Homo-oligomer: A and B are copies of this chain.
Amino acid sequence: MTGASTTDRGLPNATVARLPLYLRALTQLRATGSATCSSDQLAEATGVSSANVRKDLSHLGSHGTRGVGYDVAHLQAEIAQAIGQTQEWNVVLVGAGHLGKALAAYPGFASRGSRIVAVVDADPKRLGEQVVDGLVIESADDLDEIVRDRAVSIAILATPTHAAQDVADRLVAAGVTSILNFAPVALRVPDGVDVRQVDVAAELQILAYHEQRKSSPREEAVSG
């Protein structure tokens, strides 16, 4: 079976996770003036195999031209449509510590479909502080109002670990249905709410595992 039933428009998760990469690559290609590109070029630019690129794009029902490749502008528009980049998504950022401020200042969101419309923090001492042009730290008590008034559906959680679950509960109660969580804790959320986890220390631990294997002596042919 194909991983998505005939009646729903759903793409395989693995494909969805790669669409942003293709979009990035296409934007670059477009800037260089290329009108078309092959699956090999996209593979080169994204680190995905070319067969995998073609399979992914075929899930979009996309139309490349045999012998030629894909029309860059057209494919870009198709992917943008598929992942909802035809609109901007309003995001609330919770937690204005070092990481929160760094994320608030990150210039890469706007060009990729997301806009941080509020930064909130629980610490009264931080209220009113300007983190970046047009963004002033607001009170976490106003989350409900902010989420509703500014049509927020996505939140970034950059709070201390101990506060994360509580904040998540309040975000969900206020109507947020997607959370990007930087706190190293598994959030419990109701069905219908998506959580994606970014755990930098865990990433390093995964790398450490492979490092350890690289340096340990080869052990082959145990029995033959």
Binding site for B on A (CB under 8 A): 6-11, 16-17, 19-21, 23-24, 45-47, 82-85, 89, 91, 97-99, 101-103, 105-106, 108-109, 112-114, 153-154, 156, 177-180, 184, 186-187, 192, 194, 196, 198-214, 219-222
Contacts and interface: CB of A to CB of B under 8 A. Distances in A.
Given A177-B214, A180-B204, 7 more contacts: A16-B209, A20-B201, A23-B205, A101-B102, A112-B201, A194-B210, A198-B198
A107 B145 CA distance: 32
A20 B207 CA distance: 11
Given A7-B219, A9-B219, A101-B102, A207 B16 contact: no
B7 A220 contact: yes
A91 to B, nearest CB: 7
